[in-house]
Structure 1
């Protein structure tokens, strides 16, 4: 019903009952934000022969000049205006707020006696706060060259293509003039969806169960990989072919009953004995009889029915993995249809027609309002009598057009700009409040809810009183032999039962090793004292990469020995580089320690470990040249599904003191812990893109002055940190995938260093912190 109202042709309320020459005026309002208006629009139309008085556009039955609207009017004048030259058009700025402004695309004026059409191109704002601030403009008649300009044609076709050509969006934005109904569009969408489901299930029915792609994103037991998305997009392209055929079948249906154009209806209401002198039927291409609608709906039911039968028949045989892949492909195909295939189809067709089919008279938006029939509008007595009885033309005194003077326009502009500024402040506060809340959600969702509990447990478990009281080398060995070694092997239960199925677990029986623990020592060279000393000739300075000892020794730090030791003891006196160990520089409180060193691996039974540690103590593995001992553990808690990197750093200072520090870094190797986190990140990045768009517009407007604003750097900080976080997130994801694959292949019985993953996680945390910092300031 609302669509039919929009199609109506409205006689102007200020038509005089004695006027007998008619023009049709079609007004095209733009699709930009706040393009519609509630202000009163006035105009003066000028031709070679005459000029109209001030006329007013109005319709008592419906709202006119809405955003993206097309409004058609019939204007009566005493005689022909001749060849039209220009139209002066303005509004009185009487609308409230944004409803006072108006964006006019163009007008078409047609002489209903000669059927000659005149185009007036505007593409300008009639607003005190926009562009040049004018609310009155003179539009000259457009030449043939102007009507065929690329920008003008694209402007005409773009909105119509989206509102009518996009299968999904057109359900809501269908142009009133088209005969392709919303029910028919829903039917085509329904068919497209089921055909894509059918083609997807055909593919997965023929394919074998494949191993989960290493690049997949997992959400608990559900995962998505690029292959599923690509399959969904390709299938959607194939499904588009039958849906396009069905769309064309619906579009080309002829009406069952002959339709009377809105213009003819309006003229019949004015002049009941109207005669058509000449009828030029517009070529609409090949059409189908009205009863083809049964074929179209029958074909739709057939396609949907076959798809449902096949989906039920084959889908019940699918396992969980294939079902997940199938659902993922359906969703990716659905969204690609909305945001990829349909927009690409619209853009390509619009550009093609703009370049190669520049027909000035080919205006689909106006065709429903323009009828090529030539009417007999000569005056007769019967017409005048019928008007007295029932006429749409009533005698009215000339309407007074309210024209604002310069002072009033300036005042209105100031008031409107203040209003816009006020709303922009409120909108910005609201957007940034939402952004900051979303940023906090993204930041905290990056951490596992059990991470803090895991850290507290491991701290209480390892950092006992023996560890906290270490101040000498002997106390350090005592802690290793009597506390640490016992803690890293699962022992008997409290009731004396053996720890069955707990191989590789530490003594808390909840966390298991990924491989084994390592103890790495960094030493310095013994060198001559820099200052001559009468007491000693050699000195041991603080650690640096230049004086690090990288030589290999025999047990006891000798160059040669005749005694035989186990392999693990001998290797602990052999220097290994960071490349051999796959380790990186570690930052301590008193130095930055390289990734190489002398490494002892805690491998074997508890009794073997105790014996080896005792032997290392006897061989003075830690002496006055030792500057740091780093114990590294990589743990996995299957109950919390958390990996934890544990590092105990003991720094042996040149002053003789010992400084202890520890680090517990829990990590979750799932890319996203929940769908809620994924949605939050997607919305967050959409907001970042929105901020980028605002800043780019501001940069183009202010140029170098943009960098003189303090808030510009805050915005740049938010944008740069956010996009850097995306890169680091991908890096962490790939590193976690590598570790996860290695852990799965070896069942956790090979040493995996989590140091790099821990560093990447720290960088990501720092970036999130900077985002929160800049966001809070803003």
Structure 2
């Protein structure tokens, strides 16, 4: 094993240790708390400093002293040492030099170089083959990556999410138990009736067998399959004092101002919103004063929320309901008597966490009761349905296999990146797509980390809820945020992998034609899009000014622009009756202009420009790619070669691909060389041509044979100058007396089992030398002319 193997092994082990350590830290790091984490970091830093400044200097000093003690030796002698050589050995060296000179002279005209055109074609084919080999590898890797990623993303979502969301929305939207529906709540009394009859009752009045009502047990919805996690919570954001500005001539006593999330009240109060005063029994009565104490977003574990009216921030005045219906009713009665909801209430958030056991789905419900500018309430029901808890027993085997395959592919991506860094390859040599691969690896690791962090965080929240006997509100907002991040990063991964796969598929002509079309037509397309956008903005502004007060979808300029763009793209239909109901002729004219100019003219113009460039470039690239070696031919040749190699013994298989790519052999199989057109598109082959047989070559070969014979005879005589023992001399004399030239060519007839290796080597040399007769010389000359020799290859005599 060479050094590069151990270097790659070291990088692989280091990467695996880092990934495992990070995984353990992400999984179990949150369960130790900040104190133990700080102690662990301090201990780690102390150990690191102790090793760097104390242990390492002592160890290096000891090792240096030991090596200096063990490596004591005499100083090296750089002088030249004289060595006497016998005349026979020097003569043998001279003959060897003469033989090397003759072989070099014989090989000078054996091969002639190819011309520059063939060299350029061979180099081009070689680069093409290397490119196709890399494309084939990337195509397999990213195809499996995409399949595994899609299976993981689809496995993390539930098919029942839509039905669960609709069920919860209908449950809290419709009026139940004499409570008004959400679309009919306008006043404070209707909001209080909704809290009493719909929220408090429906979270605890689950009807079980024989229509029996389970009123005083922890919360269940109807059917006992949807569980209320903990208790419900009310969170209020208020309008600050003295925020009302009105006309001086009109003085209204009840003016309370307009709620703005950026300017809300953050003061602490006592009951009935009286000024906060600390008294002696505050620790005993903190539960009564908690609804009038402001909590920040961090204290209340609340996140911002997009509503119809505003972008609401976290935080507010928090009041928790009870664990059963009786306690919840007591809390609501206390809040109503203390005027917790008054004219300065800007928005109230009703937050409930539900868990559906059958579908393993969490429903995070947030009901927004926002006070409008006119003093009435506007109700919104936001339901976030997510599969936050994953259990291995309930996981599908397809998703589990996809998860394992996804991890293996990420490891392979990291291995390829580590190898390129180890070989110090520059990313700029491979283009921007190498940076895309790095981003893909980082996002993939981030996706796995978010998956485990979210699951571990949800498990810790459930343990905390169980420790508090389900008598507290546990916010799953951050778990939902982790799920949103996981969804966004997964979508980005799918997008990046699709773009990367699109780049790999450029071996096909149609993909290159489409990319070239976008590149060529970018100027014209951008100019047409600019005209289209300007026209849409103008139409949106006009429609908003004219119909903004009568049509809901045109009430805001942003909604108007979105409606015009979706109508132009054909995603939604605009009702003509709404435009006609506005009562103005201008609005109908604007509708007609929008339909004709944007929907028909500009959109069709954009499509026509793209199709024109596509048809022109398709013809050009089709003519250019007719005689080129395609990727499908590469796949076919690889298949035939693999098939041929399997049918042959291992020693007869072709060389490795790197040798064939360097021109060391024919790269393509015989099945792919049937026609002349296929032969023109094959990979690199030998382009050298053998030299012709000439009398000068024959004379030079004869001189090589004679020099070789002389070399062998002198080598035999020099080796036999060493004295032999009596047994070897007796065996040698017996062989000399019995052998002839014909018998020597066939080899000895008697057994040589008891012959020493040194004597056997001498006898073989004598037999080879004695076989050099006239007929044998002619045969050997022909063999030299028909065989390739290298300069230093030993000449073998038969």
TM-score band w.r.t. shorter chain? 0.3 to 0.5
Bigger RCO (CA 8 Å, 6+ sep): 2
Q: Which has the higher strand share?
A: 1
Calculate the TM-score normalised by the size of structure 1.
0.43
- Rg larger for: 2
Q: What's the TM-score once normalised by structure 2's chain length?
A: 0.42
